[in-house]
């Protein structure tokens, strides 16, 4: 299988002077196309930092990040923005939806940001797959937590990215909804051949993944 | 409410230091804006009044008692608002060396007038004995005396049929109140002050002018209305409008409007800030309610937060300007010798304070009403039902793909009231700024127009040319009239000495001439010439005036000509070289039976060649100028432009009675002199002084030189100084006002947007994560700023409408009280048409290009500033450091 995302010996330290926290210590990882991987670890273990670096929202102090074989560390802001628009999808614990846009508008936002026109049938198909076709014209404040998170997943899926990075996507959901969301993510990864990298501290959720990576004190176990 | 809860609230506030700092600072700046600008204009209005009193006298009404004309009725004025009265007695007009009346009068000014009129001297003191006199510069120069106290002045006046003379000792040189007080009625004030006995020595008093001082507590009354009650038929009374109408913003109504506008802007700013703050805090109130706080506690929390976060800062914003204002006034009054003019107006202070605090309390009340459980639970989602309805409407109607546009539109839909308040706030401030700019432009124009025809010194020398002409029957017509002669003028040595004096800014040298005429090919066909010949045949000598003006500075002349006329055929280079002339043709009045008939020259056209010859070379009338017997020269020159019937200002300039007025360069004068075999002289000088000049070393010396050379001179130094002072004063006031308003507005603008961006930060972050590029922020900030500020363009017509209304209302008042009959540039005549005069004034005192340019620059500047603010907000996120 083709390697989609790769990081080589990345390290990251926060703070300066005497108060320094090493969030990541020489982490090396590889993710292949269509893989559903889970990174588990306690709070403060470096999961979110790793995700941010892989999502090009932060830069490591050392090491290298390759997306589709291309190093993304020294790219311009414009190029990075383009990569985020086309190759990376994000899912967050707090859903991160725009409250002033409907579910449909939220989903097509990254496509429009890229200056493209959405493929309506594809969006509706994703909505159908995720079971939220009835929420199409609802605003986030009119939806339940599970529906909001599915909308966020749909937004990530609709741009057909190479990688979807999910940061505690089930953190705000009840057990039923959480299971459903993770199952849907797993289904989507297979259906659309997309690599999903999920950060969680819930071992039960991680069990849905093809591969589980444990992070502790900034190092992958 | 328990102490613990209060402590909890205060601790929370302390912990939210950054957020509270924004709110407190914005409240401080908003109130500071309102109070400082209002106070500034109040203080400046007071300052204007003090300087007006100094320049134009502290009197409101004057009444004339004419001892020589029983038809002029007089009664002493009495009114509880008057605090003092004084009198100036005016005697006869002075005569010069040739026993011709000059524009100066002898008279007295009593102690009261001297005191409340602020009469002051350049040098010396007021007369105390009957043989003493104090004179102003105009009368000294008109009589040909130097500006030196201690000299003996011979005063000559016409007393009935006899000419009376007396010698006086010059004890002082007074600053010309007679001219400054603008007492323009037919009863001028005395320029030469003597004692009562001193006046009786030489003439009997003609009339007395009584002045009445107004109690300053009533100076804010509608003075035109107040004084109009005193204007009765048969009485000659005058209202000192120069003091009471010359106020900041031009009138009391405008002043009050601006004050109201400032209060509204301040209220909008505070209201906007508080609304934004409270609406963002609702989620937190909901959490607290969920944690078990009762309604009273929530209300207490809102109250404490609002009061502690804004009240002390609002109070500080109110008081600081007053302290600074009091100190500035102290400095200004000490520096300019004015009485301390800072006045504390409790109604202004408490009015504004009440407005600011009222708005805060109003918002607290709104917040209290909005903290019902149902509302709070709605707000827990971040979007209320009402907002949702607006968003749904928008989602249904707008389905475009432009994310930036839809993002901004949705933001406006989320907070429409804040958006409206902000647009109104920006509009109000821009209106004020445009008004300031208009006033600055108006001050500049007023100064430029008034200064245009004034020079510190104007010196001219005319010759008493003897002209003889025989009638058909052989009798001789002999005239000896003063006329300009290009071969008799100011000596070279004097010219050089003047140029070498300290304080001379510029000297405009002109050679005027009336000893030459024009000849041209078909002059015999000229209607004027034919009429003159006809008259001559009937033994009437009638010679049309031909005046030449040769300018050294052709550039300035050409610029002035081009401003007023179309000179398509004129070649400027040829004009400078003396090969072309500009000819102004005025109608030739026919006297006698055909009175009121006028003839205009029709036989000279642009492009024709004319000849400059001696005036003795009249075609049909034998003429002899005794001083120049047959000047031999004949200089051909091309007519570059013909201006028929020039406007009044040019007629005055080139010689009012001239049927043919020739404007040319000094080069041509040199050619004429060479052809005549004579030596050319300047005979007309306009001298302007610079800041290095002084009364002792420049003005006095110039007066000496002109007296020695028997050159007639006059000085407008005092009027120019007064104009300059008024101009500088207005520029300082309005530019400081403009800069202050702009500065505080920009502070508030940046601050409000920072506050707004803090609340939007999460969405910005999300957009960034979704791949938003740098250019998007530029686009979004430009668009947002554009929609917030584009309305400012309307400020230009609004400010013009306000100005036009002010001018119109002022004219209307004048028309209703003292009557209105003013010169109109459009009509080229005097008129009382209010609309026409208002339009003339607007055309003179406004410049739409500058106003619109300023507003556009402001819009662009604000867009750039918005970009910087938004960039600062989203920048740290790019590296993830804000996490």
pLDDT at residue B800 tops 90? yes
Q: Is residue A5 part of a domain?
A: no
Q: Give the other-Cβ count within 10 Å of B184's Cβ.
A: 9
Q: Is residue A3 part of a domain?
A: no
Say whether B401 and A117 touch across the interface (CB within 8 A).
yes
Q: Give the other-Cβ count within 10 Å of B121's Cβ.
A: 16
- Residue B125 carries which DSSP code? -
Pairing of strands B580-585, B658-665: antiparallel
B772–chain A nearest CA distance, Å: 6
**What digits encode the pLDDT tens for the residues B476-501?**
877 777 889 999 888 888 888 898 88
Whole-angstrom distance, CA of residue A15 vs CA of residue A49:
14
Q: B759 and chain A: CB distance < 8 Å anywhere?
A: no
pLDDT at residue B728 tops 60? yes
Q: B383 and chain A: CB distance < 8 Å anywhere?
A: yes
Q: Which has the closest alpha carbon to B106: B181, B168, B186, B185? A: B168
- For residues B385-391, give the mean pLDDT: 81
- For residues B769-793, give the mean pLDDT: 83
Which residues in chain A are contacts of B878 at CB distance < 8 A? Answer: 57, 77
Q: Which of A87-101, B14-28, B274-288, B444-458 has the lowest mean pLDDT?
A: B274-288
Residue in chain B lying closest to A138 (CA): B392
B400–chain A nearest CA distance, Å: 10
pLDDT at residue A62 tops 50? yes
Q: Is residue A109 part of a domain?
A: yes
Which residues in chain B are contacts of A46 at CB distance < 8 A? Answer: none
Whole-angstrom distance, CA of residue B774 vs CA of residue A77:
7
Q: What is the pLDDT at residue B373?
A: 62
- R_g of chain A computed on alpha carbons: 17
pLDDT at residue B300 tops 70? yes
Q: Is residue A21 part of a domain?
A: no
pLDDT at residue B667 tops 60? yes
| Contacts with A, B 839-878, CB within 8 Å | 878
Q: Is residue A118 part of a domain?
A: yes
Q: B395 and chain A: CB distance < 8 Å anywhere?
A: yes
Q: Which member of B391, B403, B879 has the closest CB to residue A100?
A: B391
Say whether B774 and A96 touch across the interface (CB within 8 A).
no
Q: What is the pLDDT at residue B537?
A: 83
Domain residues for A149? Answer: 34-56+85-220
ipTM above 0.85, yes or no: no
- The total of structural domains in chain A comes to 1
Q: B388 and chain A: CB distance < 8 Å anywhere?
A: yes
Q: Is residue A182 part of a domain?
A: yes
Say whether B383 and A81 touch across the interface (CB within 8 A).
no
A99–chain B nearest CA distance, Å: 7
Q: B831 and chain A: CB distance < 8 Å anywhere?
A: no
Whole-angstrom distance, CA of residue B470 vs CA of residue B478:
9
What are the residue ranges of helices labelled H in B503-661?
527-537, 554-564, 572-576, 648-654
- For residues B533-561, give the mean pLDDT: 87
Question: Which residues of chain A approach chain B closer than 8 Å at the C-beta?
Answer: 52, 55, 57-59, 77-78, 81-86, 90, 96, 98-102, 105, 109-110, 112-114, 117, 137, 139-142
pLDDT class of B880 with cuts at 50, 70, 90: very low
Say whether A139 and B414 touch across the interface (CB within 8 A).
no
pLDDT class of B883 with cuts at 50, 70, 90: very low
Which residues in chain B are contacts of A82 at CB distance < 8 A? Answer: 771, 773
Whole-angstrom distance, CA of residue B524 vs CA of residue B620:
9
pLDDT class of B636 with cuts at 50, 70, 90: very high
Whole-angstrom distance, CA of residue B190 vs CA of residue B195:
12
Half-sphere exposure of B741 (CA within 13 A, CB side): 31
- For residues B249-268, give the mean pLDDT: 84
Which residues in chain A are contacts of B883 at CB distance < 8 A? Answer: 52, 58
Token pair, residue A87, equals 């190759």
Q: What is the pLDDT at residue B290?
A: 66
B761–chain A nearest CA distance, Å: 12
- For residues B69-77, give the mean pLDDT: 90
Q: Which has the closest alpha carbon to B62: B19, B113, B98, B27? A: B113
Which residues in chain A are contacts of B775 at CB distance < 8 A? Answer: 78
Say whether A90 and B769 touch across the interface (CB within 8 A).
yes
Token pair, residue B48, equals 């204007």
Percent of chain B whose predicted confidence (pLDDT) is above 90? 28
Token pair, residue B466, equals 């003897």
Mean pLDDT for all residues in chain B: 85
Residue in chain B lying closest to A142 (CA): B381
**What digits encode the pLDDT tens for the residues B369-380?**
777 666 665 555
Q: What is the pLDDT at residue B882?
A: 36
Pairing of strands B192-193, B132-136: antiparallel
Interface test with B, best of A74, A100, A166 (most B CBs within 10 A): A100
Q: What is the pLDDT at residue B618?
A: 75
Which residues in chain B are contacts of A85 at CB distance < 8 A? Answer: 770-771
pLDDT at residue B397 tops 70? yes
Three-state secondary structure call for residue B811: helix
- R_g of chain B computed on alpha carbons: 37
**What digits encode the pLDDT tens for the residues B7-42?**
777 777 777 787 788 788 888 888 888 888 888 888
| CA distances for B454 relative to A11, B448, B476, B547, B687, angstroms | 81, 10, 42, 22, 10
pLDDT class of B878 with cuts at 50, 70, 90: very low
Interface test with B, best of A123, A136, A141, A164 (most B CBs within 10 A): A141
Whole-angstrom distance, CA of residue A67 vs CA of residue A88:
10
pLDDT at residue B121 tops 80? yes
- Residue B615 carries which DSSP code? G
In three-state form (DSSP H/G/I as H, E/B as E, the rest C), the secondary structure along B246-270 is CCCCCCHHHHHHHHHHHHHHHHHHH
**What digits encode the pLDDT tens for the residues B43-71?**
888 888 888 898 889 999 999 999 888 88
Q: Which of A171-185, A198-212, B156-170 has the lowest mean pLDDT?
A: A171-185
**What digits encode the pLDDT tens for the residues B319-335?**
999 999 899 889 888 88
- For residues B407-420, give the mean pLDDT: 83
Interface test with A, best of B282, B414, B770, B877 (most A CBs within 10 A): B770
Q: Which member of A96, A117, A139 has the closest CB to residue B388?
A: A139
pLDDT at residue B596 tops 80? no
Q: What is the pLDDT at residue A205?
A: 85
Q: Which member of B388, B770, B880 has the closest CB to residue A109?
A: B770
- For residues B207-228, give the mean pLDDT: 89
CA B275, distance to chain mean position in Å, is 42
CATH number for A198: 3.40.50.300
């Amino acid at each position: 299988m083709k390697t989609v995302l790769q990081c080589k010996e990345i390290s990251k330290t926060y703070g300066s002077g005497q108060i320094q926290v090493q969030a990541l210590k020489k982490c090396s990882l590889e993710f292949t196309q269509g893989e559903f991987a889970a990174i588990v670890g306690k709070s403060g273990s470096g999961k979110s930092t790793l995700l941010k670096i892989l999502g090009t929202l932060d830069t490591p102090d050392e090491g290298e990040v390759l997306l589709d074989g291309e190093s993304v560390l020294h790219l311009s802001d414009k190029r990075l923005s383009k990569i985020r628009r086309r190759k990376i999808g994000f899912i967050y614990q707090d859903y991160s939806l725009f409250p002033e846009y409907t579910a449909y508008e939220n989903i097509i936002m990254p496509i429009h940001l890229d200056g493209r026109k959405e493929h309506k049938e594809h969006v509706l198909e994703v909505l159908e797959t995720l079971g939220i076709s009835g929420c199409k014209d609802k605003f986030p404040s009119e939806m339940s937590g599970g529906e909001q998170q599915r909308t966020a997943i749909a937004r990530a899926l609709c741009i057909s990215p190479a990688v979807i990075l999910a940061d505690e996507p089930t953190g705000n959901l009840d057990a039923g909804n959480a299971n459903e969301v993770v199952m849907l993510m797993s289904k989507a990864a297979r259906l659309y051949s997309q690599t999903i990298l999920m950060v969680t501290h819930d071992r039960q959720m991680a069990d849905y993944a093809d591969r589980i990576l444990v992070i502790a004190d900034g190092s992958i176990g | 409410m328990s102490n613990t809860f209060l402590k909890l609230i205060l601790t929370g506030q302390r912990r939210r230091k950054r957020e509270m700092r924004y709110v407190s600072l914005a409240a401080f700046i908003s109130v500071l804006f309102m109070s400082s600008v209002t106070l500034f204009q109040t203080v400046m209005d007071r300052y204007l009044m003090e300087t007006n009193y100094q320049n134009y006298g502290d009197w409101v009404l004057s009444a004339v008692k004419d001892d020589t004309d029983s038809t002029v009725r007089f009664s002493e004025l009495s009114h509880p608002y008057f605090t003092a009265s004084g009198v100036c007695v005016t005697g006869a007009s002075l005569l010069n060396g040739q026993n011709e009346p000059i524009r100066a009068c002898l008279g007295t000014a009593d102690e009261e007038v001297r005191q409340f009129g602020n009469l002051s001297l350049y040098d010396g003191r007021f007369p105390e004995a009957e043989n003493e006199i104090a004179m102003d510069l105009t009368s000294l120069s008109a009589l040909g005396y130097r500006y030196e106290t201690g000299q003996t002045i011979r005063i000559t006046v016409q007393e009935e049929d006899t000419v009376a003379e007396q010698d006086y000792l010059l004890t002082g040189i007074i600053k010309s109140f007679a001219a400054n007080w603008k007492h323009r009625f037919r009863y001028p004030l005395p320029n030469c002050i003597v004692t009562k006995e001193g006046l009786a020595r030489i003439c009997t008093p003609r009339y007395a002018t009584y002045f009445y001082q107004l109690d300053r507590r009533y100076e804010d009354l509608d003075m035109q209305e107040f004084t109009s009650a005193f204007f009765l038929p048969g009485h000659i009374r005058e209202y000192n409008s120069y003091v009471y109408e010359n106020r900041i913003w031009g009138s009391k109504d405008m002043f009050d409007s601006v004050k109201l506008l400032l209060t509204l802007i301040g209220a909008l700013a505070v209201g906007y800030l508080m609304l934004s703050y409270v609406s963002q805090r609702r989620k937190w109130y909901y959490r607290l309610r969920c944690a078990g706080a009762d309604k009273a506690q929530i209300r207490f929390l809102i109250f404490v937060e609002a009061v502690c976060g804004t009240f002390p800062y609002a109070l500080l914003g109110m008081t600081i300007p007053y302290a600074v204002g009091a100190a500035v006034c102290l400095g200004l009054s000490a520096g300019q010798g004015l009485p301390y003019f800072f006045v504390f107006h409790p109604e202004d202070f408490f009015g504004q304070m009440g407005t600011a605090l009222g708005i805060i309390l109003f918002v607290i009340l709104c917040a209290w009403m909005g903290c019902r459980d149902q509302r709070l639970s709605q707000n827990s989602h971040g979007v209320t039902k009402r907002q949702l309805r607006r968003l749904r409407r928008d989602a249904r109607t707008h389905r475009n793909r432009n994310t930036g546009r839809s993002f901004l539109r949705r933001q406006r839909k989320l907070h429409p009231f804040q958006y409206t308040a902000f647009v109104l706030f920006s509009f109000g401030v821009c209106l004020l700024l445009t008004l300031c700019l208009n006033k600055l432009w108006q001050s500049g124009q007023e100064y430029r127009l008034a200064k245009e025809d004034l020079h510190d010194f104007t010196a001219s020398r005319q010759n008493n040319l003897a002209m003889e002409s025989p009638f058909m029957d052989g009798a001789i017509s002999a005239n000896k009239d003063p006329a300009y002669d290009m071969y008799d003028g100011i000596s070279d040595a004097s010219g050089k000495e003047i140029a070498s004096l300290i304080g001379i800014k510029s000297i405009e040298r002109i050679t005027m001439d009336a000893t030459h005429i024009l000849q041209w090919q078909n002059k015999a066909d000229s209607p004027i010439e034919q009429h003159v010949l006809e008259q001559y045949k009937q033994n009437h000598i009638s010679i049309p005036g031909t005046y030449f003006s040769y300018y050294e500075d052709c550039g300035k002349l050409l610029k002035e000509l081009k401003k007023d006329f179309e000179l398509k055929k004129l070649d400027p280079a040829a004009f400078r070289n003396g090969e072309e002339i500009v000819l102004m043709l005025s109608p030739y009045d026919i006297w006698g039976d055909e009175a009121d008939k006028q003839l205009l020259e029709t036989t000279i056209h642009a492009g024709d060649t004319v000849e400059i010859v001696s005036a003795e070379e009249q075609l049909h009338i034998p003429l002899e100028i005794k001083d120049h017997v047959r000047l031999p020269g004949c200089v051909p020159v091309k007519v570059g432009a013909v201006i028929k019937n020039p406007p009044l200002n040019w007629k005055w300039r080139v010689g009012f009675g001239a049927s043919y007025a020739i404007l040319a360069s000094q080069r041509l004068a040199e050619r004429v002199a060479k052809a005549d075999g004579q030596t050319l002289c300047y005979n007309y000088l306009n001298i302007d002084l610079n800041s290095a000049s002084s009364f002792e070393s420049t003005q006095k010396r110039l007066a000496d030189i002109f007296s020695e050379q028997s050159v007639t001179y006059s000085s407008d130094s005092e009027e120019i100084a007064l104009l300059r002072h008024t101009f500088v004063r207005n520029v300082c006031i309005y530019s400081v006002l403009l800069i202050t308003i702009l500065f505080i507005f920009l502070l508030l603008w940046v601050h409000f947007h920072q506050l707004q961006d803090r609340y939007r930060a999460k969405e910005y972050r999300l957009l960034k994560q979704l791949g938003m590029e740098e250019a998007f922020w530029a686009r979004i900030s430009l668009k947002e700023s554009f929609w917030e500020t584009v309305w400012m363009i309307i400020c230009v017509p609004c400010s013009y409408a306000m100005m036009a209304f002010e001018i119109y209302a002022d004219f209307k008042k004048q028309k209703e009280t003292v009557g209105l009959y003013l010169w109109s540039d459009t009509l080229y005549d005097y008129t009382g048409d209010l609309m026409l005069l208002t339009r003339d004034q607007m055309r003179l005192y406004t410049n739409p290009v500058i106003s619109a340019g300023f507003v556009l620059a402001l819009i662009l500047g604000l867009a750039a500033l918005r970009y910087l603010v938004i960039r600062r907000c989203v920048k740290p996120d790019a590296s993830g450091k804000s996490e």
